[in-house]
């Protein structure tokens, strides 16, 4: 039984590490999504026909409509990835909670056995 507990403890630790990584990625995607949203809002406000777009270390001029379409596609893609990350995070949290419950029920059984 100790081996099973050790493998579950190792699984729990791996899950916590995964959860930390997913949370970081999710946070980065949220920041990216907000930046894209702000850029789209600014494009909506502008009356300019052409805008500048950063490509590497240079700025190039581009049609406003084309730039807006590209940003909308990036935002859609980012939001989709964000939803996927959220689902992964939720699934991992559920798995970790189940393992935690198993640990707690195992600890209670051990306490009862020790009292006898």
For residue range 86-116, list pLDDT tens digits in order.
Answer: 999 999 999 999 998 888 887 666 666 666 5
Q: Tell me, yes or no, whether 116 lies in a domain.
A: no
Query: Is residue 22 in some structural domain?
Result: yes
Q: What is the pTM of this model?
A: 0.79
Q: What is the CATH number of the domain that holds 46?
A: 1.10.287.370
Please count the structural domains in the chain. 1
Helices 2-45 and 64-115 pack at an angle, to 10 degrees, of: 160
Per-residue pLDDT of the chain (116 residues; tens, 9 = 90+): 455 578 888 999 999 999 999 999 999 999 999 999 999 999 999 999 999 999 999 999 999 999 999 999 999 999 999 999 999 999 999 999 999 888 888 766 666 666 65
Beta strands, E only, 35-112: 50-55, 58-63
Whole-angstrom distance, CA of residue 19 vs CA of residue 13: 10
Long-range contacts made by residues 86-95, C-beta under 8 angstroms, separation at least 24?
A: 86/26, 88/22, 89/19, 89/22, 89/23, 89/26, 92/15, 92/18, 92/19, 92/22, 93/19, 95/15
Rounded Cα distance between 79 and 73, Å, is: 10
CA angle 79, 81, 87 (to 5 degrees): 105
Query: Could you tell me the residue range of the domain that residue 71 belongs to?
Result: 2-109
């Amino acid at each position: 039984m100790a081996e099973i507990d050790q493998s579950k403890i190792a699984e729990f630790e791996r899950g916590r590490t995964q959860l930390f990584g997913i949370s970081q990625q999710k946070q980065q995607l949220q920041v990216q999504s907000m930046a894209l949203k702000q850029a789209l809002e600014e494009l909506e406000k502008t009356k300019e026909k052409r805008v500048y777009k950063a490509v590497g270390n240079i700025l190039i001029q581009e049609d406003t409509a084309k730039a807006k379409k590209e940003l909308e596609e990036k935002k859609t893609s980012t939001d989709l990835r964000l939803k996927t990350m959220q689902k992964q995070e939720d699934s991992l949290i559920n798995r970790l909670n189940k393992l935690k419950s198993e640990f707690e029920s195992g600890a209670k059984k051990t306490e009862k056995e020790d009292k006898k």
